[in-house]
Amino acid sequence: MRIDGLQYANWSEKIFRQMREGDVDAVHVTISYHENFRETVLNFERWNRWFEQYPDLIMKGQWASDIDKAKQTGRTAIFFGFQNPSPIEDDIGLVEILHTLGARFMQLTYNNQSLLATGCYEAEDSGITRMGREVIKEMNRVGLVVDMSHSADRSTIEAADLSQRPIAITHANPYDWSPALRNKKDDVIRAVTQNGGMLGFSVYPHHLKDKSACTLQSFCEMVARTADKFGVEHLGIGTDLCQDQPDSVVEWMRVGRWTKEIDYGEGSASNPGFPPMPNWFQDNRDFGNIERGLREVGMNATEVAGVMGGNWYRFFSENFVPKGTV
């Protein structure tokens, strides 16, 4: 089983076919960065049209059992998530509405301070806000997973401790392997994993040691070391693949509507767009390279199967359903 914990590609029939060529059974897809509720609904609508257009390639995923159905019918199950809490606006009642529409992950922040928590680009981290505490409880109740991929350290640790259900960092790497604002220090990873949560390893070059020149061996050795530290059952892949996206989309991701300036984020003024992917992971057809690399650094078949998808499958099965129905 192959499950990707996060992608934000410029979706097309080409990419859907590459998913099938790569035997990718499920993908968590970002459908909101800074969109409000109504704009997010339009993104759900767009995906509904794709499900109609390509019923032999993709299907909507809502429950872990949908991955089994996709696997049996040779399709990829698409699960929806938000990289910002903007779709709930300032209305906690929209948490349940969005879960009903099909949302399964929501980040409490995207780099900046939000109504719920502090993002990893802020100088001061005040932790989970009053509204954040209430929203986490509501997310726990309905089965919307708390994602802290772009959140600051204190906020992430507090979210892991406050949440009554496991949380996720869907796409990041250990800070001690590759220092970056978005990568996670050991105490943060420990807080998430010891509470039953998941870390999805990213292949986005800004998160990699040596960036685009990162080797497969280096990446896989990092995965193996993280498994030794925190337990392999808490680890998966969350590529953060942004395939075929124009640089204007990078600006939308980083800037949204909160500033008139260009925020270069993890890029630089001389290279503000998407960096080249490492040669061992260009698109969805390359998941086999990661699988092979994990075996070559000494992980056994059960461990590799867990990281490539089994662990996400278990996490999905336990955390997408309303509280009390597990």
147 is written with which tokens? 């994602």
pTM: 0.96
Question: What is the per-residue pLDDT for 13?
Answer: 98
Answer yes or no: is pLDDT of 135 > 80: yes
Task: Note the CATH architecture for domain 3-319.
Answer: Alpha-Beta Barrel (3.20)
Q: How many CB atoms lie within 10 A of CB 68?
A: 15
Angle at which helix 37-53 crosses helix 94-101, to 10 degrees, equals 10
CA separation for the pair 57, 17 (Å, rounded): 7
Residue pair 240/81 in contact by the 8 Å Cβ criterion: no
Helical residues (DSSP H) of 168-306, grouped into ranges: 186-194, 216-230, 247-255, 287-296, 301-305
Share of the chain above pLDDT 90, in %: 89
In the chain, domain spans: 3-319
Q: What angle do CA 232, 237, 243 make, to 5 degrees?
A: 170
Dump pLDDT digits (tens) for 193-232.
999 999 999 999 999 999 999 999 999 999 999 999 999 9
264 vs 39, higher pLDDT: 39
Dump pLDDT digits (tens) for 225-276.
999 999 999 999 999 999 999 888 878 888 888 888 877 666 655 556 788 9
Question: What is the per-residue pLDDT for 270?
Answer: 52
Distances, alpha carbon 74 to alpha carbons 268, 273, 289, 310, in Å: 41, 34, 21, 18
Question: What is the per-residue pLDDT for 272?
Answer: 61
CA separation for the pair 187, 195 (Å, rounded): 12
CA separation for the pair 312, 99 (Å, rounded): 18
Question: What is the per-residue pLDDT for 132?
Answer: 98
Question: What is the per-residue pLDDT for 264?
Answer: 66
Q: Which amino acid would we find at residue 237?
A: I
CA separation for the pair 175, 179 (Å, rounded): 5
